[in-house]
Amino acid sequence: MNNNTRPIGIFDSGLGGLTVFKELRALLPGEDLIYFGDTARVPYGTKSAEAVLAFSKEIASFLLGKKIKLLVVACNTASSLALEEIRKLSPVPVLGVIGPGVEAALKAVPAGGRVLVTGTSATVNSRAYSRALAESGPGIKVTEKACPLFVPLVEEGWCSKPVAAIVAREYLAPFRGRTDALILGCTHYPLLKKVIAGVMGPRTKIVDSARAAARSARAELAGRGLLNRARRGRSEFVVSDAPDRFSELAFKLLKIQTGKVSVKRF
């Protein structure tokens, strides 16, 4: 197989990485994309670091077996806890979502600005965003806030229900008016973007790590001469459980028509 025509692999703990998938599909219409959602073991944010690492390596090995040319870890928890280990076993480039999210945040805030990172408990506890922001943007004031109920709200398809706004206010109301930018530090969170923006108010810029990650992937492929110039790429979806539910929510939340969804259990 020609290297240019090989697919891009993407994985997440469940539905959230579809926000990255959708951005990639818009930016790279000619690419073949293979998406894996670990729906049997979602959420990752409450799991131990050892479990997240083990799950991530299993999925990476599965996708590498599909002869991909690029692997996108479309999960902040896996990016914070497993990215370097995945890179050790991968013969192709591996991109996470934290670096692109940090880069986008630094463009959105003034020198010495205030950044609020929202994420799962595992991502926040890893301090991955704080370290990356400190290295790239000296003087930036960083606060991290775990929002563990956001992922199950998305996985239930409750993004527009009143409970989503109630939970968002409970987590974020204390930061309203005190934050220049908020990083959506979990790829599920863009599906709650309107709710989160409503709580934070108009002066806080919302940084979507999913969009930033897709742009980073395009730049990586272009830099390596691996872009596929085909007219229309194919999409393949694989989950570890409940394919019908995954397909239903993919369309309900993101208007993604998955077609038949395969199941791969570990």
Who's near 131: CB < 8 A, 6+ residues apart? none
Give the pLDDT confidence score for residue 1 in this predicted structure.
Answer: 60
Q: Walk along the chain (266 residues) in steps of 10 and give the mean pLDDT of each run.
A: 89 96 96 98 94 98 98 96 96 96 91 93 94 86 96 95 98 96 95 97 93 94 92 95 97 96 97
Other beta carbons within 10 angstroms of residue 245's beta carbon come to 15
Q: What pLDDT is stored for residue 135 in this prediction?
A: 87
Residue type, 87: R
Pick the CATH number of 3-96+211-263 from 2.40.50.180, 3.40.50.300, 3.40.50.1860, 1.10.10.10: 3.40.50.1860
Compute the distance between CA of residue 182 and CA of residue 184 in angstroms, rounded to an integer.
6
CATH annotation of 98-210: 3.40.50.1860
- Residue ranges of the chain assigned to CATH 3.40.50.1860: 3-96+211-263, 98-210
Burial of 58 per CB tally in 10 Å (0-12, 13-18, 19+)? middle
Q: Which of 71, 97, 128, 186 is catalytic?
A: 186
pLDDT of res. 112: 87
Does the annotation count 75 as an active-site position?
Answer: yes
H or E element, residue 49: helix 49-64
Among the options 75, 86, 153, 183, which is catalytic?
75
